[in-house]
Amino acid sequence: MAYTDEGRLLTRGQIDALQVQALPDLLTRADRAPAYRGKLGGLEINTPADIRKLPLTTKEELRAGMPEGFLAVPKADVVRMHYSSGTTGLATSVYHTADDVLRWSECVARGMLAAGLNRDDIFQNMMGYGLFTGGLGFHYAGELLGMMTIPASSGNTERQIHLMQSFGSTVLHIIPSYALRVLHICVGDGIDPREDFSVRAIFVGGEPHTEKIRRRIEDGFGARVYNCYGLSEMCGPGVAMECGQQDGLHVCEDHYLAEIIDPVTLEPVEPGEQGELVLTSLRREAMPLIRYRTRDITHQIVGDCPCGSAHMRVARMEGRTDDMLVVRGVNVYPMQVERALMEIDEVGNNYVIELDRPEDLDVMTVGVEVTQEAFRDEMRQLSALQDRIAARLRQELDISVKVQLHEPGGLPVSEGKAVRVIDTRDQES
């Protein structure tokens, strides 16, 4: 029997009712975790918004509770432990029961079904396997849908290309910066991914990126690219995924209750306003989290989606509260830099932001790879391009920025999440 996802077509009324029903049970289960014990009781839940009466949970609290403070089931019921990569500090452990792993797979499978995939697809999963949740989260969903799933993991680009050619992979899951890297290597190898591969759908996640980057990946592979959002604290990928409309990510609201709050006042923002995404896991058994502050910045996309799903849509992540850089007193998100750069045709696939404080004054330098065509231009033209990029960045960021141009492939590339910011200011003060 092929897996079909009934939760995807719930109506708004059904979703609200399901969330209200799920909350009392969730609070009872969460109360078994030492970190929540005695903190959640005595609350009357009549609407999903009543969740605001509960306290928020932060990453710091998860860390303080390491290793088992948030574990809500006997250890014998745990079948899997993931360990968050800790991009912004110490890692935290996340536990799963067998049922948690299945529900997680169902969330990811929902997004794959929404993209029109089925058991005839061949799925090359190019996300890292292991403690990082990106690989295994999609792996089980691919198998649940009956696809031939190739656990390629990340890296070893020549082998990835070989797998795509030999087995006719139709679906990829990959970090966006690595997808661009693969395209770059294909060019060098004389391969045209549009002709030589059979890829039709690509799921990207793991790092923020702009719409222009999505279009570049789509053009390069001749495939549709879908955004996928998740975080290991909420299982991993599959919390929210794009449908065929590619206009915002549907949160699996029968699994996760989402709020968007002002990260400073902690009050809900108006629908459509930018704020921090806060998630409550409604069904998880091993490690239920209540009002977890993701630190991811997004906004709700208001209005009905033509795909027919009533699950709330959020915009692609627009940055992280802790990514925010303060440069000469001005708040700067790395995504703003990317958005400005990608508007310029001569800009290539990679960039890096460097921050330094040589004489007690912040200096921001943006290293930019240019396209092969632009790089062949004369010095005078390159210098004009440099000025144009600097002017565009100044307009976007409200601060002056130094620009350095690099040849294609001239900046270092990591095979995991891209390192976009090198901040050496703290070491000097």
Distance (Å, whole) CA 73 – CA 96: 10
Site residues for Zn ion, 140-159, by CB under 5 A, read: none
Contact 329, 314 (CB under 8 A): no
Candidates 56, 183, 307, 310: give the one binding Zn ion (CB under 5 A).
Answer: 307
Nearer to Zn ion, 29 or 313 (CB): 313
Near Zn ion by CB under 5 A: residue from 27, 113, 180, 243: 243
> Residue 309, interface with Zn ion (CB under 5 A)?
yes
Q: Which one of the spans 13-21, 53-61, 309-317, 353-361 is the region binding Zn ion (CB under 5 A)?
A: 309-317
Nearest by Cα to 157 from 128, 134, 179, 138: 179
Interacting span for Zn ion (CB under 5 A) from 23-31, 60-68, 297-305, 318-326 = 297-305
241 binding Zn ion? (CB under 5 A): no
For the chain, give the number of residues: 429
Q: Which stretch binds Zn ion (CB under 5 A): 137-145, 159-167, 213-221, 235-243?
A: 235-243
Nearer Cβ to Zn ion, position 242 or 296? 242
Peptide bond into 67 cis (omega under 30): yes
Minimum distance of Zn ion from residue 271's CB (angstroms)? 17
* Of 243, 158, 166, residue with least CA distance to 150: 166
Element (H, E) at 22: helix 12-30
Helix axes 176-189, 211-221, angle to 10 degrees: 40
Query: Which residue stretch of 193-201, 230-238, 241-249, 419-427 sits at the interface with Zn ion (rule: CB under 5 A)?
Result: 241-249
- Furthest CA-CA distance within the chain: 72
CA distance 367 to 403: 6
**Interacting span for Zn ion (CB under 5 A) from 102-110, 243-251, 285-293, 387-395:** 243-251
Q: How far apart are CA 102 and CA 123, in angstroms?
A: 19
- Other beta carbons within 10 angstroms of residue 266's beta carbon come to 14
Closest to Zn ion by CB, 74 vs 308, is 308
User: At its nearest, how many Å lie between Zn ion and the CB of residue 151?
Assistant: 29
Pick between residue 201 and residue 364 the one whose CB is nearest to Zn ion: 201
Q: Give 298's strand partners.
A: 275
User: Which element (helix H / strand E) includes 280?
Assistant: strand 275-281
> For Zn ion, which is the closer residue by CB, 184 or 299?
299
Task: Give me the least distance between CB of 41 and Zn ion, in Å please.
Answer: 37
315 binds Zn ion (CB under 5 A): no
Query: In angstroms, what is the minimal distance from the CB of 237 to Zn ion?
Result: 18
How many Å apart are CA 309 and CA 243, to the nearest integer?
9
Cα dihedral 62, 65, 70, 71 sign:
positive
Question: Nearest distance from residue 241's CB to Zn ion, in Å?
Answer: 10
Among 72, 147, 171, 305, binds Zn ion (CB under 5 A): 305
- 387's CB contacts (< 8 A; 6+ apart) are none
Point out which span in 14-22, 85-93, 306-314, 372-380 binds Zn ion (CB under 5 A).
306-314
Q: How far apart are the first and last CA of the chain?
A: 63
Q: How many residues bind Zn ion (CB under 5 A)?
A: 5
Considering the complex, state which of residue 300 and residue 309 has its C-beta at the smaller distance from Zn ion: 309
Choose between 87 and 245: whose C-beta lies nearer to Zn ion: 245
**Residue 227 φ/ψ, nearest 5 degrees:** -80, 140
The answer to whether 93 contacts Zn ion (rule: CB under 5 A) is no
* Site residues (vs Zn ion, CB under 5 A): 243, 245, 305, 307, 309
